[in-house]
Amino acid sequence: MQHIKLNKSDEIMTELAEHNTDISKELAQGFVDSLYYQVKLTEKCCKMLAKQLEEKLEMEITLDELTALGTINLHNGQIHQRDLAQMLLKDRANTGRMLNVLESKDLIEKKEQTKNKRQANIITVTPKGHETLNRLTSVIKPMFDDVQRKMTIEEIGYIKNGLKKLRQIMKDTLEIHI
């Protein structure tokens, strides 16, 4: 079993493109070094970290489900499934499936109500849901703090705002139907 060097790509970025010069150094570098690639790699790391966190802390729900629960809580009783799907950038099908999981664990309730004179499942967090959200969030927060302690507030802000802006820009080019 071999442990990975996460910066393996980064290292070699410095000793670049001497071999095949038919693609210019700048072009090749810009490619592997593109935002697309960087975001993708980082997301994979986050995914792995989340999984290990879930096991280590023996969480009863996924970190993604917890994020969904937190998002619901911010708009408690004011959103239905499709709203949530749009926020999570998930399709309606999987959003529904995830909500079924949360409902089966008594963390949320789907109340059939009319939103804009149209029948829809308004979602609310149950008391048990609040308890779980509070508890798990409190447990996880130190982990996030631990990561963030190694970066300055400015750096974190730059990344967050940068990513938001990037999404905003992509939105203009993008056609999203959820």
Partner DNA sequence: TTTTATGTGTTGCATTTGCAACATTATTAT
Partner DNA sequence: ATAATAATGTTGCAAATGCAACACATAAAA
Query: Comparing C-alpha atoms, which of 100, 147, 91 is closest to residue 121?
Result: 100
Paired strand residues for 121 = 112
**1 near DNA, judged by CB under 7 A:** yes
Residue 57's binding partner out of DNA, its own copies, none, with CB under 5 to 8 Å set by partner kind: none
Instruction: Compute the C-alpha angle 59/151/29, nearest 5°.
Output: 100
Shortest reach from residue 118's CB to DNA, in Å? 5
**165 near DNA, judged by CB under 7 A:** no
Shortest reach from residue 6's CB to DNA, in Å? 14
Query: Comparing C-alpha atoms, which of 126, 129, 140, 68 is closest to residue 97?
Result: 68
The CA distance from 147 to 49, in Å, is 11
Shortest reach from residue 69's CB to DNA, in Å? 14
Cα of 165 vs its chain's centroid, Å: 16
Residue closer to DNA, measured from CB, 21 or 114: 114
Shortest reach from residue 80's CB to its own copies, in Å? 12
Options 25, 30, 57, 97; binder of DNA; rule CB under 7 A? 97
Paired strand residues for 113 = 120
Sign of CA dihedral 133, 125, 54, 67: negative
Shortest reach from residue 104's CB to its own copies, in Å? 22
Residue 11's binding partner out of its own copies, DNA, none, with CB under 5 to 8 Å set by partner kind: none
**108 near DNA, judged by CB under 7 A:** no
Query: Comparing C-alpha atoms, which of 149, 53, 114 is closest to residue 67?
Result: 53
Is the CB of residue 124 less than 8 Å from the CB of residue 109?
A: yes
**119 near DNA, judged by CB under 7 A:** yes
Residue 93's binding partner out of DNA, its own copies, none, with CB under 5 to 8 Å set by partner kind: DNA
Please give the residue ranges that form the binding site for DNA (CB under 7 A).
Answer: 1-2, 44, 47-48, 51, 62, 64, 80-82, 89-94, 96-100, 110, 115-121
